[in-house]
């Protein structure tokens, strides 16, 4: 069995799933678990998915009878992984693309940095037509990540890989923070373990107007505020982080995107 399990949640996006599977290089060695969250319109064609697989490893398909939400699907995948002997757990969303032998790069980073338990990377953002928008650059060191986490999540969810053993200590994805389960989990991990980001774009993410980060944006910003309040530390950075999140909660998404383009460029 492979050391790494890639978790891909699926919901009514079979074309995006095939695009993601196709992007995993032939030299990569990992297993993939695809968990369908009760798709009712656009269901998975397993044969087509497997036909687009080039990497070394297996693809496992699991199906939920009803749509429950991504946080529950991710935890189902973690339950499966913990029942096996996987060392690493990775994430990817349907429609997002892996670049530059992403998984080999991240596993090598872990091997060279034994104290690190959670890693991510920079990512390239594109629109629904595949047109490049900007590169999201994240802080690299554990120190800078911890400081940034008082403001916002410093890991791009589809780019992360973490050691399976950390889940046994900190628990799975918290389910009470809708659309911000990743921020909540990574915050919990960093209370006991160190994190880092690789200074390279290893994933290309698609900013889709129907994606969870947009359609559930109000839920996401509300959950982010709750996480920041729960982990608030008296000081300038924490206070700024809360004020910033409240402002973003009431700012139109179109304006936020325009500001991001200016900042990242």
- Tell me the CATH number at 163: 3.90.550.10
Residue 254 has a pLDDT of 67
**Cβ contacts of 77 within 8 Å, gap of 6 or more:** 5, 7, 9, 33, 35, 62
Mean confidence (pLDDT) of the chain: 92
Q: How many CA atoms lie within 13 A of 134 on its CB side?
A: 12
Domain extent for 215:
4-264
Cβ 188 vs Cβ 260: under 8 Å: no
Q: Where are the beta strands (DSSP E) in the chain?
A: 4-10, 31-36, 59-63, 88-91, 97-98, 116-126, 132-136, 161-163, 194-206
Percent of the chain with pLDDT over 70: 92
How confident is the model at residue 262, as a pLDDT? 66
Confidence category of residue 157, pLDDT binned at 50, 70, 90: very high
As given in the structure block, the two tokens for residue 25 are: 């290089």
In terms of phi and psi (left: phi > 0; alpha: psi -120 to 50; beta: otherwise), the region of 95 is left
Name the least confident of 163-172, 177-186, 249-258.
249-258
Mean pLDDT of 73-91: 96
Taking a C-beta distance cutoff of 8 angstroms, is the pair 183, 213 a contact?
no
The mean-pLDDT minimum among 110-119, 185-194, 205-214 falls in 205-214
- Indicate the number of domains in the chain: 1
What pLDDT sits at residue 251?
77
The tens digit of pLDDT for each residue in 32-57 reads: 999 999 998 889 999 999 999 999 99
The neighbour count for residue 148, using CB atoms within 10 Å, is: 17
Question: Model-level pTM?
Answer: 0.91
Give the model's pLDDT for residue 86.
96
Q: What is the pLDDT of residues 205-261, one digit of tens each?
A: 988 655 545 557 788 889 999 999 999 888 999 999 989 888 888 777 666 666 666
């Amino acid at each position: 069995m492979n050391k790494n399990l890639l978790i891909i949640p699926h919901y009514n996006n079979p074309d995006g799933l095939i695009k993601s599977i196709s992007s995993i290089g032939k030299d990569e060695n990992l297993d993939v678990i695809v968990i369908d969250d009760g798709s009712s319109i656009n269901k998975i064609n397993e044969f087509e998915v497997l036909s687009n697989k080039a990497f070394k490893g297996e693809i496992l398909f699991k199906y939920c009878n009803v749509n429950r939400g991504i946080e529950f699907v991710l935890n189902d995948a973690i339950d499966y992984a913990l029942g096996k002997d996987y060392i690493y757990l990775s994430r990817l969303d349907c429609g997002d693309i892996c670049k530059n032998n992403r998984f080999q790069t991240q596993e090598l980073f872990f091997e060279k940095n034994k104290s690190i338990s959670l890693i991510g990377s920079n990512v390239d953002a594109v629109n629904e037509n595949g047109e490049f928008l900007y590169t999201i650059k994240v802080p690299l060191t554990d120190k800078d990540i911890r400081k940034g986490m008082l403001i916002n999540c410093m890991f791009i969810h589809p780019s992360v890989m973490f050691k399976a053993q950390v889940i046994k200590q900190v628990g799975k994805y918290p389910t009470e923070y809708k659309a911000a389960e990743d921020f909540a989990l990574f915050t919990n991990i960093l209370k006991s373990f160190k994190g880092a980001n690789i200074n390279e774009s290893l994933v290309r993410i698609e900013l889709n107007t129907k994606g969870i980060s947009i359609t559930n944006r109000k839920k996401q910003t509300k959950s982010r505020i709750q996480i920041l309040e729960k982990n608030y530390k008296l000081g300038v950075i924490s206070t700024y982080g809360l004020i910033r999140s409240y402002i973003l909660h009431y700012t139109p998404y179109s304006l936020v995107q325009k500001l991001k383009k200016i900042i990242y460029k």
